[in-house]
Structure 1
């Protein structure tokens, strides 16, 4: 490598493709596998992402038969699913033109007539999603579009999910919906809040609780500085500066977006104040699992950019490669070390 480059963080390593494999001897940068933490396979097929920079995707709302069939198929990208949106009777996304039949499940309120010993609709729905293969539970808290789950019902969803070891992710939209999610112990927000300015005190509470926010900044304005887009960038910047964990996510399937990494989303993350290494951390976070996709790595040919303006397109040129095809270039000893040689370590 020559010249000044961005600090990509400790996970970035100089590497070359194996001399015995495809693109023999090509040099570049190896990074951990990338994940889009918010996609909808009912709107964009998983097959369209197989040759992209994505090693994993998290589907956050689809009919159970669709994602169930995908879970039974091997191949890339790795898939985690939420299954159905869990929503109030008549709530979001019911009635939306893009919402495929069967993608949402309406919950009746928890009983308040002394029948608490019986499983309610919330517990039943969460346990059925889990048995179907869901590794995360999604709730819709969209007051703009209609009714939302009442607090006892939301508490039942979160409590049952946590008992099963599942995180809960919420679509929040409308006044006080972020506060409701924080108060109820929701683990992740499916979108950076975009319809309200989240005050610093609430952000501090979210960070202290370990809540993560999935970015989806692009779909807040589709490239325009709309009020929603400005609010989202401001909220995400303050959340990040307060120590909050940001996850890269695009809401893929929502509007015109590239199949794979979206350079516009990456540029907006940088604009919100994330450094290059922070963006890579947001891409490489294995959530909702503890481990990253196995046996693969991200490889980008050539030298990394020297300035942040070029980072989004450079990252979007990445490809998923078998980890065994990469040879890591060892860091050289100090210049005055007489034993210095250029060595390779093979993964």
Structure 2
């Protein structure tokens, strides 16, 4: 964080690293306004790998998982928002390349299309989920390709299964039940990251998600800013409500900035762009989320340090 002046406008303000939304669905939104509204890079966690691989270079910078890996009848197959191209059905736990329906074949298809992370659906409240052997095969196959695995973990015992299997990140901070201190400590010890997506929830789910994040962050857990953009009426760009919810969960100040600038899974935009926030920095810590929400993406070369 440094004080700068922007050459194009003459404004004084603060320069920060480029901000990342770690959970979006680009096929459901128009992403062209994201840089103007503060987001330089995104992680698409469920899209057509062919379309994503063909996306032209530019802002926002895009890393992606490709299709959801699920089982027959599993989430999100059949949802109106989930065309067939974003769903890959895994029918067996084979770790051998080229086996039709095998876990390794499904992982390879996403990796060969340029995926930076593999997403597996562990949504037991919405249908069948991969069994332990299939989940282990997905994680092992991804690891052999040098790629992390992120899971949509929802339903009884699914967070624990994700931890046991070595899943690197959760696509949503757990929101359907309070997690025990033991489970949260295990997630932290395993180095698991949680993508926030707090603003998609209301009522009890929101309360539980914030409480789980608070406990996770307090034990040193790695929290990533992510909105699930495309899921309902969310703002395109920096989401002030998401930032306020993270602040409420105890992720504040420098820790809040870290959720926005974390490179997971290698998605940060180049140093050629930075986040610029015009005006003075806030003196009240409670004003930081709103201040951060005013960021915009600018070429780094436009910013001159002010000592």
Same fold? TM cut 0.5: yes
2:73 paired residue among 86, 90, 95:
90
1:49 paired residue among 34, 37, 41:
34
**Structure 1 unaligned blocks of 5 or more:** 1-11, 331-347
- Structure 1 residues 119 and 64: CA distance shift in structure 2, 3 A: closer
1:323 aligns with 2:306: no
What residue in structure 2 maps to residue 39 of structure 1?
A: 24
Per-residue Cα deviation, 1:206-240 (whole angstroms, up to 9, x for no partner): 1111100000011122xxxx111111011100000
Name the one with the larger helix percent.
2
Once the 2 structures are TM-superposed, how far is the Cα of residue 119 of structure 1 from its aligned partner? 5.4
CA distance in 2, matches of 1:316, 1:219: 17
What residue in structure 2 maps to residue 13 of structure 1?
A: 2
1:173 aligns with 2:154: yes
1:106 aligns with 2:89: yes
**Structure 2 unaligned blocks of 5 or more:** none
Partner SS, residue 38 of structure 1? strand
Once the 2 structures are TM-superposed, how far is the Cα of residue 309 of structure 1 from its aligned partner? 3.6
Structure 1 contact 55–293 (Cα < 8 Å) conserved: no
- State the Cα RMSD in Å: 1.5
Count of aligned pairs between the two proteins = 305
Structure 1 contact 13–30 (Cα < 8 Å) conserved: yes
CA distance in 1, matches of 2:209, 2:35: 30
Say which one has the larger Rg. Answer: 1
Structure 2 contact 61–267 (Cα < 8 Å) conserved: no
Structure 2 contact 3–13 (Cα < 8 Å) conserved: yes
Structure 2 contact 274–298 (Cα < 8 Å) conserved: yes
1:155 aligns with 2:132: no
CA distance in 2, matches of 1:50, 1:310: 22
TM-score by length of 1: 0.85
Structure 1 contact 64–83 (Cα < 8 Å) conserved: yes
Per-residue Cα deviation, 1:292-311 (whole angstroms, up to 9, x for no partner): 53311111010012223432
1:273 aligns with 2:247: no
2:45 paired residue among 60, 66, 73:
60
